[in-house]
């Protein structure tokens, strides 16, 4: 509880250990600030940056709205929007408690993609209210990154916002995870000398990430993929499916499997975990020879890497202390940078596929079982993803000027 960590004066409490906790020390005062990009040194500067000079620019934009991209920060800034209902592994902790994460996301945008971002934590969870609020905020931004909004509401919020806005709307928990997962899987398949079309995958988790991963794998040409929720394989014969899961059943599970996650893993080439929980070692042992295990739950993977390595040829997690970290920061800064660069109105499946291919190509000449995905600190990542996304957007003619 916060009361056990911070006293009534807002100071760290709990003895020497908490007093020197580096996380609290780093976060004190927040992790970001706004700074001017033009000087205001004297009256002349002031008259240009503000009144009367600013009036000329405002009038020009009023006459030609597209000039807003050239004479404001709109084309280089993203709103990072959350309602605090699905924050990291913490769950529904509310908008204020989510702010450190949203600030963190904003500085990752800047650090890894050169994109400015503003954290916006909304004190509402109603879909209609969230959509209406973001629509009204949208004129200030070139894109919207939805973050840590619980499923299934996140699907409807993203869809409705994209229908109403002419700027990209991207739910990173879905699509960022999917892009990085596909990139790692492409390289794992290359390392083993097989095509994606020869692989059968099993996804544990039918929430935001699981649905998006399934969709992008199908778009990329995976042989087959079965998605499992708490009740087992999402299949067309189930009568308890939500609308999202019913749609999911329509484009996955070609083999018509039914039953448990463990039964789906029999002979499977790929396990992708975005659910938490623990998968029995016996189920891993029954996967295909030289399988791939991407156990991405944090902080505890569904399959411990030491167990996975007994049976799998490539193992990935969501953690930084093991090889092959599936980290969204490899995707979202470059994806938004590319989309903003060409003033795209949406981020399409083609743009996501291009991002995954570019990300995979960064380490295509350096492949090993412990290197199927680059490090977030590899300086080649963001430029490669940015260029690929911008090129895909131009090719699809989705940019509006």
Among residues 326, 325, 328, 338, the alpha carbon closest in space to that of 385 is found at: 338
Q: Return the structure tokens found at 263.
A: 């039964």
Sign of the CA dihedral 116, 387, 176, 156? positive
Q: Is 88 in contact with 148 (CB distance < 8 Å)?
A: yes
Binding site listing for (S)-malate: 298, 327
Query: What value does the CA radius of gyration of the chain take, rounded to a whole number of Å?
Result: 23
Active site residue 71: no
E strands, 94-173, in order: 116-121, 143-146, 169-171
Given the residues 31, 71, 105, 254, select the one marked as catalytic.
Answer: 105
Its sign, for the CA torsion 269, 272, 275, 277, is positive
Q: What whole-number distance in Å separates Cα of residue 175 and Cα of residue 349?
A: 9
**Distance, CA of 298 to CA of 108 (rounded, Å):** 19
Is-catalytic flag, 105? Answer: yes
Looking up tokens 């000398």 gives 193
> Of 50, 110, 254, 310, which one is the catalytic site residue?
50
Residues in binding site: 147-148, 173, 298, 327
Query: Which two three-digit tokens encode residue 395?
Result: 């090719």
- CB 322 within 8 Å of CB 374: no
CB 95 within 8 A of CB 82: yes
With b meaning 16 or more CB within 10 Å and e meaning fewer, what string describes 213-252? bbbbbebbebbbbbbbbeebbbbeeeeebeebbeebbeeb
| Residue list for the binding site for a divalent metal cation | 147-148, 173
Closest CA to 137 of 129, 127, 147: 129
Q: SS3 of 119, please?
A: strand
Length of the chain: 401
Q: b/e for 23-47, b at 16 or more Cβ within 10 A?
A: eeeeeeeeebeeeeeeeeeeeeeee
Closest CA to 142 of 334, 332, 342: 342
Q: What is the dihedral of CA 314, 324, 185, 361, to 10 degrees?
A: -120
For 228, what's the count of Cα atoms within 13 Å in the CB-facing half-sphere? 25
How does DSSP classify residue 399?
Answer: B
Catalytic annotation, residues: 50, 105
């Amino acid at each position: 509880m916060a009361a056990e960590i911070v006293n009534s004066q807002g100071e760290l409490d709990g003895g020497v250990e908490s007093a020197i906790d580096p996380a609290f020390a780093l976060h004190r005062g927040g992790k970001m600030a706004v700074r001017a990009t033009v000087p205001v040194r004297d009256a002349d500067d002031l008259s240009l940056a503000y009144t009367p000079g600013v009036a000329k620019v405002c009038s020009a934009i009023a006459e030609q709205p597209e000039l807003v991209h050239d004479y404001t920060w709109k084309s280089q800034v993203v709103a990072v929007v959350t309602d605090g209902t699905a924050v990291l592994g913490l769950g529904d902790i509310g908008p204020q408690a989510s702010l450190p994460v949203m600030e963190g996301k904003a500085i990752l945008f800047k650090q890894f993609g050169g994109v400015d971002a503003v954290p916006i934590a909304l004190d509402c969870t109603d879909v209609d209210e969230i959509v209406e609020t973001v629509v009204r905020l949208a004129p200030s931004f070139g894109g919207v990154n939805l973050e840590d909004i619980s499923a299934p509401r996140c699907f409807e919020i993203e869809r409705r916002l994209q229908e109403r806005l002419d700027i990209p709307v991207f739910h990173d928990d879905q699509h960022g995870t999917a892009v990085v997962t596909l990139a790692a899987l492409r390289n794992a398949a290359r390392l083993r000398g097989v095509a994606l079309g020869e692989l059968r995958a099993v996804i544990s988790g039918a929430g935001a990430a699981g649905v998006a991963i399934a969709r992008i794998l199908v778009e990329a040409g995976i042989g087959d993929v079965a998605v499992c929720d708490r009740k087992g394989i999402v299949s067309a014969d189930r009568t308890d499916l939500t609308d999202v899961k019913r749609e999911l059943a329509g484009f996955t599970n070609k083999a018509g499997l039914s039953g448990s996650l463990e039964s789906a893993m029999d002979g499977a080439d790929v396990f992708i975990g975005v659910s938490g929980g623990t998968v029995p070692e016996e189920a891993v042992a029954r996967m295909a020879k030289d399988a791939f295990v991407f156990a991405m739950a944090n902080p505890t993977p569904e399959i411990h890497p030491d167990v996975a390595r007994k049976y799998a040829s490539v193992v990935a997690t969501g953690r930084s202390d093991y090889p092959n970290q599936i980290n969204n920061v490899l995707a979202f800064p470059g994806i938004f940078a590319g989309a903003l660069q060409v003033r795209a109105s949406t981020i399409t499946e083609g743009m996501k596929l291009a991002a995954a291919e570019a990300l995979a190509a960064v380490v295509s000449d350096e492949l090993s079982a412990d290197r199927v995905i680059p490090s977030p600190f590899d300086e080649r990542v963001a430029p490669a993803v940015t260029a690929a996304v911008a090129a895909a957007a131009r090719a699809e003619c989705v940019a509006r000027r």
